[in-house]
Structure 1
């Protein structure tokens, strides 16, 4: 039986959006096609689909991919879902706002989906959680200092980052606190918390390392049924070192699942 291809609109034409949009335009995601691109900058003619407003995108597609940051989820998430359009969220850090998360999950008829992005093992943590709560979950994220600089930092903190010659802990807290302070760098913390079901139970450390050729995420979890440790090390994206090269491909994998590709591990 033939299924109508999913018409996809991308919000964001940056490091993630360009890879995802290029693959869609090249027909690399069976069952999905690129209908348009939403971006607040003029993109000219060098894009593989029309540049649209959000309202035009909702009229032209049945799936929106957020690839532009947490602010897009807050501003447009409910409107996308209320229009009957599905939403795939890359910036999972927005979901640390529990009121927003509740509203998105309650809004329809569109459905909201999340991609794991730069980290693995979330499916196993979800399976373990089904057997009972995990007692302790920690995440240590290590990145280049320049990718962790934030507008709220005082001069002393910025100087400590810029002059670091060894790893420096920049912040520690829960998965509720940290993604809000590092909106472009710690979506992984929110993804781990979504998998384990408790924002406050996931302890997060953010480390700046001037020698970090790779971005690393180390997840450790334990509970009555076992203990688990996952470590991933990614090359940062050359155009946007705050994100890892693998993230757009994680989005594409999620898109492939939503488009109904068969024979993949779920």
Structure 2
């Protein structure tokens, strides 16, 4: 499977270098599409047209704006697209364009797990009645240009759609939960800035006919980009491996 990576930041560069090094059996990197002034050393750089023309799979690791600008072209050309910036799908027009085909869209759940049980619950008697997502990150990551608060501060609370649109770099998890349940406006989300936080914490709670669920995940932030969890590029690589049919490896 020929793979192009869109973006070469904290997520994209890790993914691209791993693919270039043969870390995912059955997947070969053809190039990286990026807009930085300097090309990343040791990686092939291609333009969007070459990615659309030559890749079996385009992996988006470049953020909401880049996804909106590039993804419809990939899908219209019949290519497969792996989306990391799931929060961009709050845009109904973009979601419609990506759903139109003939290409296929795959979603990477990135920094969280447990969405399989929420997808299953969504099929049962109308799905969960209440779903909340609380994301807590270091205040320095969420408020880089403001003095640190004395303690945890809830910056915003609203529907998944509202929160994902307001905090595009911090709420792909919220969007992933909303898409898993299929109910954007039922999922309530909150973003908390904590000056003492050293881990990025996501607490997902759901209740409904199928039962009560609580999923709590605490990830180490990326050293390069603190608003991103360090595990995210490896979740992307696992998703690429699944699409390439790479076998699971027990170590």
TM-score (structure 2 length as normaliser):
0.95
User: 3-state SS of the aligned residue for 1:180?
Assistant: helix
Q: Match of 1:87?
A: 81
Q: Aligned partners of 1:180, 1:247: CA distance in 2, in Å? A: 20
Please list every run of at least 4 consecutive aligned residues from structure 1 whose deviation after the TM superposition is greater than 4 angstroms.
none
Counterpart contact for 1:148–1:182, Cα < 8 Å? no
User: 3-state SS of the aligned residue for 1:131?
Assistant: coil
Q: Match of 2:109?
A: 116
| Distance 1:206-1:45 versus aligned 2 partners, 3 A rule | closer
Structure 2's unaligned 5+ residue stretches are: none
Q: Match of 1:52?
A: 46
The yes-or-no answer on 1:30 pairing with 2:15 is no
Q: 1:12 aligns with which of 7, 24, 47?
A: 7
Q: 1:221 aligns with which of 206, 226, 235?
A: 206
Q: Match of 1:105?
A: 99
Counterpart contact for 2:124–2:209, Cα < 8 Å? no
**What's the CA shift string for 1:125-166, capped at 9, x where partnerless?**
00111123110000000001122238xxxxxxx65xx23121
Shift in Å at residue 45 of structure 1?
Answer: 6.3
- Greater displacement, 201-210 / 127-136: 127-136
Q: 1:248 aligns with which of 233, 240, 243?
A: 233
Q: Aligned partners of 2:163, 2:74: CA distance in 1, in Å? A: 27
Structure 1's unaligned 5+ residue stretches are: 1-5, 151-157
Q: Aligned partners of 2:115, 2:143: CA distance in 1, in Å? A: 28
Q: Aligned partners of 1:55, 1:244: CA distance in 2, in Å? A: 30
Q: Aligned partners of 2:35, 2:142: CA distance in 1, in Å? A: 24
Q: Aligned partners of 1:177, 1:167: CA distance in 2, in Å? A: 21
The yes-or-no answer on 1:261 pairing with 2:246 is yes
- Greater displacement, 18-27 / 204-213: 18-27
TM-score (structure 1 length as normaliser):
0.90
Q: 1:204 aligns with which of 184, 189, 202?
A: 189
Q: Aligned partners of 1:68, 1:261: CA distance in 2, in Å? A: 24
Q: Aligned partners of 1:134, 1:102: CA distance in 2, in Å? A: 25
Q: Aligned partners of 1:170, 1:220: CA distance in 2, in Å? A: 19
Q: 1:168 aligns with which of 150, 153, 174?
A: 153
Q: Aligned partners of 1:45, 1:15: CA distance in 2, in Å? A: 12
**What's the CA shift string for 1:228-260, capped at 9, x where partnerless?**
000000010000001000100111111011101
